[in-house]
Amino acid sequence: MTQFSITLTFRWLMALGAICQSFMVQAQYPGQASDKLKVAVTVPIKAYSFNLQDVRVTKGPFKENMEREGKWLLSLPVDRLMHSFRVNAGMNTPKPGSPTKMPKPLGGWEGLDMELRGHSIGHILSGLALQHASTGNEVFKKKGDSLVTALAEVQSVLNQDGYLSAYPQQYIDRNIAATSVWAPWYTLHKLFAGLTDQYTYAGNQQALAIESKMASWANKKLSPLSAEQLQKMLRNEFGGMNDAFFNLYALTGNPDHLKLAQLFYHKAALEPLEAGKDNLNKAHANTFIPKLVGEARDYELTGNEKAKTAATFFWNTVVQHHTYAHGGNSDKEHFFEPDKISEHLTGNTSETCNTYNMLKLTRHLFTWSAEEKYAEYYERALYNHILGQQDPESGMVCYFTPMKPGAYRLYSTPDQSFWCCVGSGFESQSKFGEAIYYHNDTGVFVNLFIPSELTWKEKGVSIVQDTNFPEEATTRLTIQTKAPIHMPLYLRYPAWATAGVTLNVNGKAVTVKQQPGSYITVDRVWRAGDQVELTYPMTLRLVQTNDNPNVAAVAYGPIVLAGEAGKENMKGTAPFHDPADPYQYYGYDYTIPETVSHTIDTEGKPVTSWLKPVVGKPLTFQTATATANKPIELEPYYKVHQQRYVVYWDLK
């Protein structure tokens, strides 16, 4: 494998100009322009991301989700978002009775009495930048510019060596002293990442200046600490601070930023993973996952093989032993014993932030090896968990996606929730174009079947993907190019496509020798208007829990199905707002009626015998025999909103 170095040939430099941005990994950093990078990737790479702005999602549920999320982002006034920052800086705020109206403080986890306040503004900076890159709409850039300008003003007024936050430095001091405080570095990570995204995707130079000043403060704050003090500090959740500083180092080349990234190496969490030990039982999942995203970035920028080992082992362990059918993980935010899924079908499963971060890590690992298994997981988690996070009726999002039979989703509110999953949702729902396509020096990987248009400027070629997947099994790729071009297409042959594949190029059948779980290569000279038609018939299958084959979910192709269980006794849908008890959802009572059944008598027959398609309703199935005195209808889990559902069934 070719090593990237300063001795790259001109041809490779041209290719790198299109793609080196993909390694600013909060994995969504394919918008990183090459002229912004001061430190290149030093390890072998098999697939590169495209710039996010070079992929447009053109229709379908992903585009609809993105549009709803964009409206929410634009609806939040800058004055309200900045209020806690300005209060912390002692800046003038209108008095009662003043002709200038006092901004209404945000609620939930952004309330002035919440120690995590300020985290959402970092996510919003990212969300606005991602929306700008994904759509080209300047309104998102203007809103981001306004926030960045306001943050620069607060940083100047604070005048604390570059420190910037919605809470005082005492929170950091408490963390360093290993006394109780709610994750101040986690909150700062969101700001660092948001400012990087504003610089990367929206070209905001002021954002990088603010972030560099913040890094100078952090260097001054942390450099005097002993190794013991640092490790005690790192026991508290710090998000992806290592990732943020590695990314900043790639932008600036400043060795202080590399040193800061390495200071956030948490030995107790990472050393066992480097040794191949599953140390996840009882660990807080979203405290762990971002650390491994940072480890992946460490490997890419420094060649640290231990970091690669830890990241790869962690991903395999989580996906194989700790993951539900829809791609999510954790119960009450924590990992549990491996291979115990059936024992953890509760109302507190699958924190959405976890999947957001697992997808970041997955993108890293895919670029290293271009293995289909990473694309398979990405598709599964994206369609079933991330797409299903947002309620299409209100545009609000979920914290958990309960696996408890008969439970239902609980949604945020527009300005009174701001849980961590609201913040990560601002990003997840704004960047659906990031993992559809990848490329190497010569060809394009087609990983996801989402209607979209790719423009590969450096090659002078575009690919238009037209499909109604997953409601249809066929996707069509049309090549647009001014001149004939020799270019291989690497078409993902999903592991779930066990019924085979039909492939046509310009209407002529092509024999496929590959097997599911690989890539089909179509290597030829393409001309304008050439078309590839690819069909993967989907089939029903059981996704059994890894500890009990008689407890299983049902999937159709990559799509997890859920049984509709009615709306009886459903309570309000946004209870998690009490600052005195931010984790009150752990005890939420779904008051599941006794009439909700999650048992199916299969008589030992295959799933196709007892589950039949409903005519005229795509992706919808019905039990062939009555269950609890009536047939049960199943449809995609991502579509089941504002009602109870069953994902996992007891099979008899």
529-570 confidence digits (pLDDT tens): 999 999 999 999 999 999 999 999 999 999 999 999 999 988
Average pLDDT over residues 145-166: 98
Average pLDDT over residues 209-221: 98
The verdict on 285 and 207 lying in the same domain is yes
CA-based diameter of the chain, in Å? Answer: 77
The verdict on 475 and 415 lying in the same domain is no
Distance of CA 204 to the CA centre of its chain: 23
260-278 confidence digits (pLDDT tens): 999 999 999 999 999 999 9
Q: Reply yes or no on whether the pLDDT at 2 is more than 60.
A: no
Q: What is the pLDDT of residue 13?
A: 32
- For residue 165, being part of any structural domain is answered with yes
The verdict on 395 and 298 lying in the same domain is yes
- For residue 598, being part of any structural domain is answered with no
Helices and strands (H, E) in the chain, number of each type: 18, 21
Q: What is the pLDDT of residue 577?
A: 53
Average pLDDT over residues 290-315: 97
449-492 confidence digits (pLDDT tens): 999 999 999 999 999 999 999 999 999 999 999 999 999 999 99
- For residue 585, being part of any structural domain is answered with no
| Under 8 Å between Cβ of 321 and 327 | no
C-alpha distances out from residue 165 to 59, 95, 118, 169, 240, Å: 38, 23, 7, 8, 17
DSSP strand E in 327-451: where? 437-439, 444-446
Q: What is the pLDDT of residue 12?
A: 32
Q: Reply yes or no on whether the pLDDT at 586 is more than 90.
A: no
Average pLDDT over residues 281-290: 98
* Number of separate domains in the chain: 2
- Report H helices in 264-412: 267-274, 285-302, 305-321, 352-369, 372-381
Question: Domain holding 467: CATH number?
Answer: 2.60.40
C-alpha distances out from residue 166 to 55, 158, 238, 365, 638, Å: 35, 11, 16, 35, 35
Tokens at residue 325, please?
């059918």
Binning pLDDT at 50, 70 and 90, where does residue 625 land? confident
Q: Of the residues 383, 408, 435, which one is the last residue of a structural domain?
A: 435
- pLDDT-above-90 percentage for the chain: 86
- For residue 559, being part of any structural domain is answered with no
482-520 confidence digits (pLDDT tens): 999 999 999 999 999 999 999 999 999 999 999 999 999
416-458 confidence digits (pLDDT tens): 899 999 999 999 999 999 999 999 999 999 999 999 999 999 9
Return the SS3 of 132.
Answer: helix
- For residue 455, being part of any structural domain is answered with yes
- pLDDT-above-70 percentage for the chain: 91
Average pLDDT over residues 295-308: 97
Return the SS3 of 48.
Answer: strand
Residue 140 domain boundaries: 21-92+104-435
Query: Which among 567, 575, 632, 625 is positioned nearest to 593, based on CA atoms?
Result: 567
- For residue 4, being part of any structural domain is answered with no
Average pLDDT over residues 89-106: 79
More confident of the two residues 338 and 16: 338
Q: What is the pLDDT of residue 626?
A: 61
Tokens at residue 4, please?
């990237």
The verdict on 87 and 40 lying in the same domain is yes
Distance of CA 458 to the CA centre of its chain: 28
For residues 420 and 416, give the distance between their C-alpha atoms in angstroms, rounded to a whole number: 13
Q: What is the DSSP letter of 104?
A: P
| Under 8 Å between Cβ of 400 and 350 | yes
Q: What is the pLDDT of residue 575?
A: 53
Q: Of the residues 435, 452, 469, which one is the last residue of a structural domain?
A: 435
Q: Reply yes or no on whether the pLDDT at 30 is more than 50.
A: no
Query: Which among 230, 265, 12, 31 is positioned nearest to 128, based on CA atoms?
Result: 31
The verdict on 400 and 515 lying in the same domain is no
The verdict on 416 and 491 lying in the same domain is no
| Under 8 Å between Cβ of 78 and 143 | yes
Average pLDDT over residues 162-190: 97
| Under 8 Å between Cβ of 245 and 187 | no
Q: What is the pLDDT of residue 40?
A: 86
Average pLDDT over residues 361-381: 97
Tally of CA atoms within 13 A in the half-sphere of 587 that contains its CB: 4
Binning pLDDT at 50, 70 and 90, where does residue 96 land? low
Q: What is the pLDDT of residue 29?
A: 34
Q: What is the pLDDT of residue 244?
A: 98
More confident of the two residues 14 and 44: 44
**Which of 62-66, 149-153, 523-527, 574-578 is predicted with the least confidence, judged by mean pLDDT?**
574-578
Q: What is the pLDDT of residue 24?
A: 33
| Residue 106 CB partners (closer than 8 Å, separation 6+) | 80, 81, 83, 84, 120, 415, 416, 418
Average pLDDT over residues 594-601: 92
Which residue(s) pair with 331 in the sheet?
334, 349
Q: What is the pLDDT of residue 630?
A: 82
Mean pLDDT, the chain, as a whole number?
92
Angle made by CA atoms 425, 429, 435, in degrees to the nearest 5: 120
Question: Domain holding 209: CATH number?
Answer: 1.50.10.10
The verdict on 212 and 185 lying in the same domain is yes
More confident of the two residues 92 and 240: 240
Q: What is the pLDDT of residue 9?
A: 32
Q: Considering the entire predicted model, what is its pTM?
A: 0.94
- For residue 615, being part of any structural domain is answered with no
The verdict on 128 and 151 lying in the same domain is yes
The verdict on 312 and 412 lying in the same domain is yes
Q: Reply yes or no on whether the pLDDT at 580 is more than 60.
A: no
The verdict on 382 and 315 lying in the same domain is yes
Q: What is the pLDDT of residue 587?
A: 66
- For residue 463, being part of any structural domain is answered with yes
Q: What pairing do the DSSP bridges indicate for beta strands 461-467 and 540-545?
A: unpaired
Q: Of the residues 491, 512, 535, which one is the last residue of a structural domain?
A: 535
The verdict on 128 and 59 lying in the same domain is yes
The verdict on 412 and 526 lying in the same domain is no
Q: What is the pLDDT of residue 558?
A: 98
